[in-house]
Amino acid sequence: MSAPSSSHDSQLLRGVLPLLILTLLHERESYGYELVERLRALGLTGLATGVVYPVLGRFERDGLVTSHLVPSSSGPARKYYAITESGCDAQEAAVGKWAAIKEVAERGLDRGRTPL
């Protein structure tokens, strides 16, 4: 998979980032920066931390994730985020919506590729 450039479209990123964050937290809980690194490992190489924390903040406010501080022997406590049951439901719903949009987009792109 080719990595999107660091100048990837911010609107596209805004659309897909919440889904990716919920999906990664569904796999396992993470602290903020670890989550950023996991997203970068997916291919969002130029992703800024400042884009991720606001999404986590909204999720926490809306009850889709919870957070707890885990003391660290090497430094200050880290704030871990974990997905809630509502978050799992929201993630499933978002995956369904994403699949529907992807299907529409692919249909449109296939028409563009078909020779007239």
Partner 1 sequence: MTIDERSQRLSAGDQWRRDWYLSRVDWHLATLVSGRERRRIITSLRDDITGEASQHGLRATLSGLGDPRVLAQDYADGDARRRPLWTRGIVAGMSALLLYWVVFFSCLLGMFAVVAEASITEVRTHFLFIEVIAFADDTGFGVGWTDRAAWLIVPLVIVATVFLLTSRAWRGWRKQR
Binding residues for partner 1, rule: CB under 8 A, are: 31-33, 36, 48-51, 53-54, 56-58, 60-61, 67, 69, 71-72, 74-79
Count CB atoms within 10 A of the CB of residue 116: 3
Minimum Å gap between C-beta 82 and partner 1 is: 14
Complex with partner 1: residue 76 or 108, whichever CB lies closer: 76
Minimum Å gap between C-beta 58 and partner 1 is: 8
Q: How far apart are CA 18 and CA 100, in angstroms?
A: 17
Which segments within 3-116 are labelled E, that is strand?
Answer: 30-31, 65-72, 75-83
* Nearby residues of 82 by Cβ (< 8 Å), 6 or more positions away: 25, 29, 65, 66, 67, 68
Radius of gyration of the chain (CA): 17
Complex with partner 1: residue 60 or 88, whichever CB lies closer: 60
Minimum Å gap between C-beta 17 and partner 1 is: 11
Complex with partner 1: residue 63 or 109, whichever CB lies closer: 63
Minimum Å gap between C-beta 55 and partner 1 is: 8
